[in-house]
Amino acid sequence: MTTSQTMLTPAQAQQLVLDHVRPLGLERVPLLDALDRILGVDVHASYDNPPHDNSAMDGYAVRYEDIAAATPEQPAVLEMIEDIPAGKIGVKTVEKGQASRIMTGAPVPAGIDTVIRVEDTRADGNRIEILDPDELGASIRLRGEDMKEGELLIPAGTELGPGEVGVLASVQRTFVPVFRRPVITILSTGDELVEIEEPLEPGKIVNSNTAGLAAMALAHGAVPVMLPTAPDDKAAIRRTVESSLTGDFVVCSGGVSVGEYDFVKTVLDEMGAETILWRVAMKPGKPLFFCKVQGTPFFGLPGNPVSSLVSFLQFVRPAIRKASGHRSDNLLLPTARARMENAVSNDGDRRTYLRARLRFEDGCLHADTAYREQSSHILTSMLGANGIVIVEAEQEVKPGDEVPVQIIGRVF
């Protein structure tokens, strides 16, 4: 019998999976379609921004030496020589005793070193009174303060959020090279399964894994293709597996354990698959199988609904992220520490992954794992689960103890 000593640790299994996945190629998509995608190339600034020194205020462009001594009682008096709205370039050089009226964003004219905001001035036709000198250089935004031509703005491997899309727009990228999303074919096996639209006959259960795993794939940046369920029959499993090899990965649930009808591994062996790992010391999820069949990475996940979803998050998600171009330090689930609200104990010899509801209170993350039964067939324990609390073998956790938690959904 395989003991936890001879089983792989989850970290070893993750590494083996990642060693067998390569980033996919790039595709060019319209700017807005690049949201949530992974940038495929380094993007540099194509010009200095702002392109010219410009005014940060509506006001008057002046020579500081002319106004340095101004007070409300003894204002500096200047002659306004030009009006510079945003989008126009002033043509006149401001000489001693002169000022140009300028709007926010307009390039500052030659000769000036300071802008005085309109609130600190009084105007009477072209006669301008400056009531407060502010300071030398006030209210001028310098050329290149935001970005310098040639500067690396967004490195390849960055996930593009709205801020990145805005910056890409500012450097006039109408199309953006991003990593292709991996196509994942998803299949379930088992004589007991009926599809979600079929009548539930005695002795049968509804196939929830295909849809659940497809939703996982979508949620983590892949394109799912759901295949028809294969019965527990070698020839049928082989036909389904052969038809699944059109994707970048295959995710199969069920049939990889040690039961009489668990044929998936046998079929893959017969197809000449290279086995990379089988069995991981974790609960749920021990009977994990990963191989390459005709060059395609193939995940055999346990059939229990919770096991399949938890295994997906631990092993398939990192593979999706590597294939879709995420940087190597950003492939695994983010982890934090949370304060337990209930007691848990793990008297087994495998690390357990408990579905948790996380919430912030007083700036602290709190985890509840007692809202539902934790067994691997309790699919409803996934409802509202935005975290996975990790409890090591033979560990006792009391309410108030801090535990490591993987973040799997929104916490806000």
- The one-letter code for the residue type at 341 is E
Residue 318 interacting with Mg ion (CB under 5 A): no
Q: Nearest approach, Cβ of 328 to ligand AMP (angstroms)?
A: 32
Count of residues for the chain?
412
- Residue window 184-203: x/- pattern of binding to ligand AMP, with contact defined by CB under 6 A: ----x-x-xx----------
CB of 209 to Mg ion, least distance (A): 10
Of the candidate residues 90, 224, 254, 297, the single one contacting Mg ion (CB under 5 A): 254
List alpha helices for 246-385, DSSP H.
Answer: 264-270, 305-311, 317-323
Tokens 């082989």 belong to which residue? 238
DSSP label of 315: I
Q: Which stretch binds Mg ion (CB under 5 A): 11-19, 251-259, 331-339, 396-404?
A: 251-259
CB of 257 to ligand AMP, least distance (A): 4
What is the residue type of 312?
F
Tell me which stretch binds ligand AMP (CB under 6 A): 11-19, 29-37, 145-153, 301-309.
Answer: 301-309
Q: Count residues contacting ligand AMP (CB under 6 A)? A: 18
Residue 139 or 253 having the CB closest to ligand AMP: 253
Q: Residue 308 is inside which H or E element, if any?
A: helix 305-311
254 touches ligand AMP (CB under 6 A): yes
- The β-bridge partners of 29 are 176
Question: Pick from 75, 90, 190, 297: which binds Mg ion (CB under 5 A)?
Answer: 190
Helix (H) or strand (E) holding 12: helix 10-19
Q: What distance in Å separates the CA atoms of residue 119 and residue 263, rounded to the nearest whole number? A: 80
Give the integer Cα–Cα distance in Å for 222 and 116: 54
DSSP 222-270: -EEEEPPPBPS-HHHHHHHHHHHTTSSEEEEESS-SSSTT--HHHHHHH
The stretch near ligand AMP (CB under 6 A) out of 20-28, 57-65, 177-185, 296-304 is 296-304
User: What's the CA gap between 89 and 164, in Å, rounded?
Assistant: 30
How many residues touch Mg ion (CB under 5 A)?
A: 4
Residues 1, 272 contacting (CB under 8 angstroms)? no
Helices (H) and strands (E) in the chain, counts: 8, 28
- Specify the residue, 208 or 342, whose C-beta has the smaller distance to ligand AMP: 208
CB atoms within 10 A of CB 213: 27
Among ligand AMP, Mg ion, none, residue 369 binds (CB under 5-8 Å by kind): none
Whether residue 318 is preceded by a cis peptide bond, meaning omega within 30 degrees of 0, is no
- Of 107, 284, 300, 305, the one binding ligand AMP (CB under 6 A) is 305
Minimal distance, residue 196 CB to ligand AMP, in Å: 10
Binding mask 159-188 for ligand AMP (x = CB under 6 A): -----------------------------x
Cβ-closest position to ligand AMP: 303
Q: Give the nearest distance from C-beta 303 to Mg ion in angstroms.
A: 5
| Interface with ligand AMP (CB under 6 A) | 188, 190, 192-193, 205, 207-210, 253-255, 257, 259, 302-305
